[in-house]
Amino acid sequence: MKICVFGTWHLGCVTAACLAHAGYLTTGLDYDRAVIAGLRAGKAPLFEPGLDELIAEGIAAFRLDFATDPKAVAECDIVWVAFDTPVDDNDVADVQCVIDAARGLLPHLRDGAVVLISSQLPVGSTRALSEDFRREEPSKTCHFAYSPENLRLGKAIEIFRNAERIVVGCEDERVIQVLRPVLENFTQTILWMCLESAEMVKHAMNVFLATSVTFANEMASICERVGADAGQVEQALRLEPRIGPRAYIKPGTSFAGGTLARDVMFLRSIARREGLHVPLIDGILPSNKAHQRWPVRRLTERYGSLKGRNVAVLGLTYKPGTDTLRRSSSIEVCRGLAELGAKVTAFDPAIRTLPQELEKVIRLTDSIEGALSGADAAIVATEWPEFKSLSPSVCIDTMRSPLICDPNRFLGAAFENAPQITYITVGKA
């Protein structure tokens, strides 16, 4: 069996490398020649732990190659559309660019091929693409399916290869016959459903998670004002069977990165198109945006004015395990601090240089101690494991005033109980 993975950014690279590792002859297809040249040399276009090594392994075993010509799909039994759908700074996804790219493959598909879409698209997109194919290629029969991706930066390979479940939407038995033996390499829990239900699963999952984060942080803000501890409230909620121990209700930082926000925007757009009123969904992004400035608000409450204050920011990336700065909450916090006149110094183990537009906002250092030196306050903005080694004594010795703003209580009890440190967390007065 031959598989073509169309799109070779994060989702596509991980998908292709994992399929090759499972023993399938896999081709990664992308029209970006520079990206393909890097992949042929064993270099992914972005950092993901273990991905370069997995790509190199597939190439060395002659199970993984890369192409820029759409004719590469002509010999493939499965064409897996895995473009990462672009999202702008207003959380609006460029759906059309993915649809247009996928349409370009239609003339080259072999008769009987299965087209599995995992790109992040609004409900109805897979059926529309299937109907385009039937209209444009009436002499061939291909089978279209949708499977929502569930990867996370920093843990993508582990999640793909050991999936808790895989959801597949399809219309005929042929899809199940072709995909089941492939997907069972990664999980035994496969849910088969109709196309629209599978597409809605992705929207529903991300919007539920976004709602949960927003709820937890709004509750935490109230807790801060009335003397309650949101962490203790969280413990009690998790013991409620209707909520559960794995619920997404930990108070802390706002959600970032565009993934959750994209699906919120998808559902808002669909609701408007259908004439539906969705006040809960409409409120998610404004609430999350407001909470993004929580560290700035708490420091302003503490000092009154931040003008001339030295603030250390630990971590700049969107999340640990990646070097992605785009859509990072930490960057927005840094901008908010600078707007109020603070001097921002930062350290991130994955960042050695900053984009030119951020050099005026952030002074980058090459160590934790360098960032903390002379600081009036420090913010734990990205939870890199390296920061766990930080001790209260280092903060006391290097900072002008040892005030630690740690939204998620990442540094733990040693800091929370240190008598010489002011320790501020989300949800605690």
The CATH code of the domain that includes 236 is 1.10.1040.10
Is 230 domain-assigned? Answer: yes
CATH classification of the domain holding 334: 3.40.50.720
Say if residue 321 is in the same domain as residue 406: yes
Same-domain check for residues 258 and 281: yes
- What integer pLDDT is reported at residue 385 of this predicted model? 92
Assess whether 282 and 298 both reside in one domain: no
Whether residue 154 is found in the same domain as residue 246: no
Output the pLDDT for position 364: 95
Which of 289, 305, 322 is the endpoint of a domain? 289
Instruction: Give every CB contact of residue 412 below 8 A, 6+ residues apart in sequence.
Output: none
The reply to whether 172 and 271 lie within a common domain is: no
CA distance 374 to 400: 5
Q: Give the whole-angstrom CA distance, residue 259 versus residue 286.
A: 16
Q: What is the pLDDT of residue 84?
A: 85
Check whether residue 15 and residue 148 sit in a common domain.
yes
DSSP code of residue 184: T
Q: Within 13 Å of residue 261, how many CA atoms lie on the same side as its CB?
A: 21
Q: Are residues 14 and 117 in the same domain?
A: yes
**Can you say how many angstroms the Cα of residue 321 is from the centroid of all Cα atoms in its chain?**
11
The amino acid sitting at 328 is S
* Contact (Cβ atoms closer than 8 angstroms) between residue 114 and residue 142: yes
Number of H helices, E strands in the chain: 17, 14
- β strands within 141-229, DSSP E: 143-146, 166-169, 190-193
Which stretches in the chain have pLDDT values below 50?
Answer: none
pLDDT of residue 244: 93
Residue 336 sits in the same domain as residue 381: yes
Up-side HSE of residue 149: CA atoms within 13 Å toward CB? 27
Encoded tokens for 387: 């920061």
Decide if 429 is inside a domain: no
Span 128-148, pLDDT tens digits: 999 999 999 999 999 999 999
> What integer pLDDT is reported at residue 429 of this predicted model?
83
**Contact indicator for 125, 97 with CB cutoff of 8 Å:** no
Q: Are residues 385 and 338 in the same domain?
A: yes
Last residue of a domain, one of 289, 307, 334: 289
Asked if 219 and 268 sit in the same domain, the reply is yes
pLDDT at 74: 92
Enumerate residues 6+ apart whose C-beta is below 8 A from 122.
95, 199, 203, 266, 269, 270
How confident is the model over 144-167, as pLDDT tens digits? Answer: 999 998 888 788 999 999 999 999
What's the pLDDT score for residue 228?
A: 95
Shared domain for 269 and 297, answered yes or no, is no
- pLDDT of 327: 80
Which of 145, 161, 193 represents a domain boundary (last residue)?
A: 193
Q: In 10 A of CB 155, how many CB atoms?
A: 15
Residue-number span of the structural domain to which 261 is assigned = 202-289
In angstroms, the CA 127 to CA 125 distance is 6
In angstroms, the CA 377 to CA 263 distance is: 35
Number of domains in the chain: 3
Residues 222 and 121 in one domain: no
Nearest alpha carbon to residue 266 among 359, 148, 158: 148
